A = this chain, B = another copy of it.
């Protein structure tokens, strides 16, 4: 299970922080947050139990870093989907929704971490930044939609939030085990359709 690497490890690992995060994420997806122990991860990586402290003041800091990393990766995927060629606004937004649900369901434990971290008072500034960065393509797309008259005008934050709630809720319910995984794709399609429908300017 340990990330086996150089046979004779130098005193300084060189990239301990990254190694810890990598291993932590493995454990996270295999055993959930509760199964994540700093000491065990240190063992797996091959350092002493005190070493992680130099990079993460406490366990929560490690979890925050994982969450932040999660937002970054989610942001990458969303950005890629947003950049992909798409004919219509609807198609474009639908693609983002699919990417989101896909990420959320493939990294259930990580998603919990990501959304548990935001409301913690002491959460780092960079976590917030990462979260905002991840969702910025969505906001951007909605602003474009508004400009093109495809989306109801109004405060973007509010409009986006309302629209995205259905997508996030679906992902959340899948992770809770309320949804048969096989029916997920069609549900996502439905949700995306409903989202676009809900965004339409109403006469």
B118 and A112 contacting across the interface, CB-CB below 8 Å:
no
Interface flags, A149-165, vs B, CB<8A=1, else 0: 00000000010011011
Residue in B112, B158, B161, B187 whose CB lies within 8 Å of A158: B187
A21 to chain B, nearest CB (A): 20
A190 and B176 contacting across the interface, CB-CB below 8 Å:
no
Binds B, one of A3-11, A140-148, A166-174: A166-174
* A residues 98-126 touching B (CB-CB < 8 Å): 108, 112, 115-116, 118-119
The verdict on A178 contacting chain B, using a C-beta distance below 8 Å, is yes
A199 to chain B, nearest CB (A): 10
B158 and A165 contacting across the interface, CB-CB below 8 Å:
no
A162 and B194 contacting across the interface, CB-CB below 8 Å:
yes
The verdict on A41 contacting chain B, using a C-beta distance below 8 Å, is no
Q: How large is the interface on A (under 10, 10 to 19, 20 to 34, 35 or more residues)?
A: 20 to 34
The verdict on A191 contacting chain B, using a C-beta distance below 8 Å, is yes
The verdict on A86 contacting chain B, using a C-beta distance below 8 Å, is no
Tell me, in angstroms, the Cα distance from A173 to B161 when the chains sit together.
9
Tell me, in angstroms, the Cα distance from A112 to B119 when the chains sit together.
13
* A residues 173-203 touching B (CB-CB < 8 Å): 173, 175-179, 183, 187, 190-191, 194, 197-198
Residue in B118, B172, B177, B198 whose CB lies within 8 Å of A178: B118
Residues of B within 8 A of A116 (CB): 112, 176
Tell me, in angstroms, the Cα distance from A108 to B175 when the chains sit together.
17
Tell me, in angstroms, the Cα distance from A178 to B123 when the chains sit together.
13
Residues of B within 8 A of A190 (CB): 162
A: which residues have CB within 8 A of B? Answer: 108, 112, 115-116, 118-119, 158, 161-162, 164-170, 172-173, 175-179, 183, 187, 190-191, 194, 197-198
